[in-house]
């Protein structure tokens, strides 16, 4: 009954990622139009150009009198000129509904559009007023204290580039630019299905183990551009597993199982997933340790099977699940970012799985004994330990096919978006 396809065929992580992104990523990525106000933390799928000039008109930079500069050329202390205040405009009024003729001014508040024919502002505090007149004793330059139309953003100017993650300031500027809908990458809907008869999501079921991995994985999904939906644990029953997986394939973009993906006698997920129909892509194990059990079966939509021990679950999440989610959401695929570079404190031996990439959770320490500098401290743990997640500052990735890393060798500690 156990066919050879049941066993692992460990693929290089880069190969697995590349296959999944090109087969699932490219065909599944979607763009949708969203109301700008709902687009927060989505990623722009196109360059955006302003629909209007900002400001939309020439406006006053100060409370003052809108004037025709050419009328003021001859003004001086010896030749004071009088201008009649023909109107006081309120901020709620449109400046362009009014106009001035030669010898006239109109009072405008800061931010008000200039009346017709006006091309400069005389600030209130810099001019003498007599009744309905102002007395000007110097010429006013064209454009004086005027904020010119389009001086902040010009119509048709590129305001935001494709790939921008939309934050608060972008919402503001988009709306200011007259843009009320934007094309964004659709966030994939990801269902998280823990598998294991020993698991429960009810903390009152004391004879079972409370399932908690899905809280962490769902949070990471959300922080990396996905919309996560947590499901109750499914028992180790091939009929139930295949029923739930087939249903999920109808309703979600990505199906994630946790546990039950290895080759033990209670591991049904791989076989049940493959039984559904002929997959477009199979990945049976990846060359990363921990996390080697991570597998993928892709039809139109992928089933991503994560191992059940928490550090393995995370490794599969970091190297396989999150890159796909991030790609679909329009982000750079890797959820890793370099956090700092440090020296290894003590030798790291690689006793097994040498052709595999190795992930270790590590802590940054500022100095050791008499030596100053930044060091990397390997946290001691087993791969089912979760306390390490509370202590780690990040991960190191040890390349394939090396026997050990010597003390003082320099490595990068990577952070993972949403984790540390």
Count of residues that bind its own copies according to CB under 8 A: 58
Confirm or reject binding of residue 240 to its own copies (CB under 8 A). Answer: no
Confirm or reject binding of residue 360 to its own copies (CB under 8 A). Answer: no
When the beta carbons of 192 and 283 are compared against its own copies, the nearer one is: 192
Confirm or reject binding of residue 169 to its own copies (CB under 8 A). Answer: yes
In angstroms, the Cα distances linking 345 to 52, 175, 181, 265 are 58, 52, 53, 41
Of the CA atoms within 13 Å of residue 284, those in its CB half-sphere come to: 15
When the beta carbons of 265 and 349 are compared against its own copies, the nearer one is: 265
When the beta carbons of 136 and 314 are compared against its own copies, the nearer one is: 314
Confirm or reject binding of residue 320 to its own copies (CB under 8 A). Answer: no
Confirm or reject binding of residue 167 to its own copies (CB under 8 A). Answer: yes
Site stretch for its own copies (CB under 8 A), options 77-85, 127-135, 216-224, 367-375: 216-224
Confirm or reject binding of residue 219 to its own copies (CB under 8 A). Answer: yes
Confirm or reject binding of residue 180 to its own copies (CB under 8 A). Answer: yes
Minimum gap (Å) between residue 168 Cβ and its own copies = 3
Number of C-beta neighbours around residue 18 at 10 A: 15
Q: Which of 28, 159, 321, 329 binds its own copies (CB under 8 A)?
A: 159
Q: Which of 2, 264, 351, 370 binds its own copies (CB under 8 A)?
A: 264
Confirm or reject binding of residue 176 to its own copies (CB under 8 A). Answer: yes
Confirm or reject binding of residue 379 to its own copies (CB under 8 A). Answer: no
Confirm or reject binding of residue 163 to its own copies (CB under 8 A). Answer: no
Minimum gap (Å) between residue 27 Cβ and its own copies = 29
SS3 of the chain = CCCHHHCCCCECHHHHHHHHHHHHHHHHCCEEEEEHHHCCCCEECCCEECCCCECCCCEECCCEEEECHHHHCCCCCCCCEEEEEEEECCCCCCHHHCECCCCEEEEECCCCECCECCCEEEEHHHCEEECCEEEECCCCCCCCCEECCCCCECCCCEEECCCCECCHHHHHHHHHCCCCEEEEECCCEEEEEEECCCEECCCCCCCCEECCHHHHHHHHHHHCCCEEEECCCECCCHHHHHHHHHHHHHHCCEEEEECCCCCCCCCCHHHHHHHHCCCCEEEECECEECCCCCEEEECCCEEEEECCCHHHHHHHHHHHHHHHHHHHCCCCCCCEEEEEEEEECCCEECCCCCCCEEEEEEEEEEEECCEEEEEEEECCCCCCCCHHHHHCCEEEEECCCCCEECCCCEEEEEEECCCC
Contacts with its own copies, 108-127, as mask; x by CB under 8 A: -xxx----------------
Q: Which of 135, 175, 341, 347 binds its own copies (CB under 8 A)?
A: 175
Confirm or reject binding of residue 34 to its own copies (CB under 8 A). Answer: no
Radius of gyration in angstroms for the set of CA atoms belonging to the chain, rounded to a whole number:
32
Confirm or reject binding of residue 217 to its own copies (CB under 8 A). Answer: yes
Tokens for 381? 């743990």
When the beta carbons of 28 and 45 are compared against its own copies, the nearer one is: 45
Site stretch for its own copies (CB under 8 A), options 2-10, 17-25, 105-113, 333-341: 105-113
Confirm or reject binding of residue 212 to its own copies (CB under 8 A). Answer: yes
Q: Which of 326, 339, 332 is nearest to 222 (CA)?
A: 326
Minimum gap (Å) between residue 264 Cβ and its own copies = 7
Q: Which of 16, 24, 45, 54 binds its own copies (CB under 8 A)?
A: 54
Confirm or reject binding of residue 189 to its own copies (CB under 8 A). Answer: no
Q: Which of 250, 352, 382, 403 binds its own copies (CB under 8 A)?
A: 382
Residue ranges that bind its own copies, judged by CB under 8 A:
37, 40, 54, 61, 63, 90-92, 94, 109-111, 147, 151-153, 159-160, 167-173, 175-176, 180, 196-198, 203, 207-208, 210, 212-213, 215-220, 223, 235-236, 264, 266, 310, 382, 384-387, 389-390, 418-419
């Amino acid at each position: 009954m156990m066919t050879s396809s049941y066993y692992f065929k460990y693929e290089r992580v880069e190969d697995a990622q590349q296959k999944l992104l090109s087969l699932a990523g490219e065909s599944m990525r979607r763009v949708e139009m969203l109301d700008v106000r709902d687009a927060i933390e989505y990623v722009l799928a196109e360059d955006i150009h302003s629909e209007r000039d900002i400001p939309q008109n020439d406006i006053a930079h100060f409370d003052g009198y809108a004037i025709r500069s050419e009328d003021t050329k001859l003004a001086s202390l010896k030749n004071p000129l009088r201008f009649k205040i023909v109107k006081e405009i309120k901020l709620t009024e449109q400046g362009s509904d009014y106009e001035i003729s030669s010898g006239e001014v109109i009072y405008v508040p800061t931010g008000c559009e200039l009346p017709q024919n006006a091309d400069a502002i005389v600030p209130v505090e810099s001019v003498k007023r007599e009744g309905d007149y102002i007395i000007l004793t110097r010429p006013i330059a064209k454009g004086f204290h005027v904020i010119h139309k389009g001086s902040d953003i010009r119509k048709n100017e590129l305001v935001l580039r494709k790939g921008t993650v939309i934050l608060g300031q972008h919402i503001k500027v988009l709306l200011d630019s007259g843009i009320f809908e934007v094309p964004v990458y659709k966030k994939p809907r990801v269902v998280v299905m823990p598998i294991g008869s020993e698991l429960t999501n009810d903390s009152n079921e004391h004879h079972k183990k409370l399932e908690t991995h899905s809280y962490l994985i769902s949070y990471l999904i959300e922080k990396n551009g996905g919309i996560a939906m947590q499901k109750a644990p499914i028992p180790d029953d091939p009929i139930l597993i295949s029923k739930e997986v087939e249903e999920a394939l109808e309703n979600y973009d990505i199906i994630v199982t946790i546990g039950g993906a290895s080759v033990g006698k209670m591991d049904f997920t791989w076989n049940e997933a493959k039984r559904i129909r002929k997959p477009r892509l199979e990945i049976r194990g990846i060359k990363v340790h921990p996390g080697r059990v991570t597998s993928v079966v892709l039809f139109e939509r992928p089933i991503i099977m994560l191992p059940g021990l928490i550090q393995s679950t995370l490794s599969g999440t970091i190297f396989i699940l999150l890159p796909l989610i991030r790609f679909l959401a329009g982000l750079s695929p890797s959820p890793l970012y370099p956090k700092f570079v440090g020296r290894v404190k003590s030798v790291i031996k690689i006793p097994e799985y040498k052709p595999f990439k190795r992930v270790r959770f590590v802590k940054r320490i500022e100095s050791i004994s008499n030596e100053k500098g930044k060091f990397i401290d390997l946290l001691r743990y087993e791969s089912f330990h979760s306390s390490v997640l509370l202590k780690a500052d990040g991960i190191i990735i040890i390349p394939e096919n090396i026997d050990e890393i010597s003390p003082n060798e320099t490595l990068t500690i990577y952070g993972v978006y949403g984790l540390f």
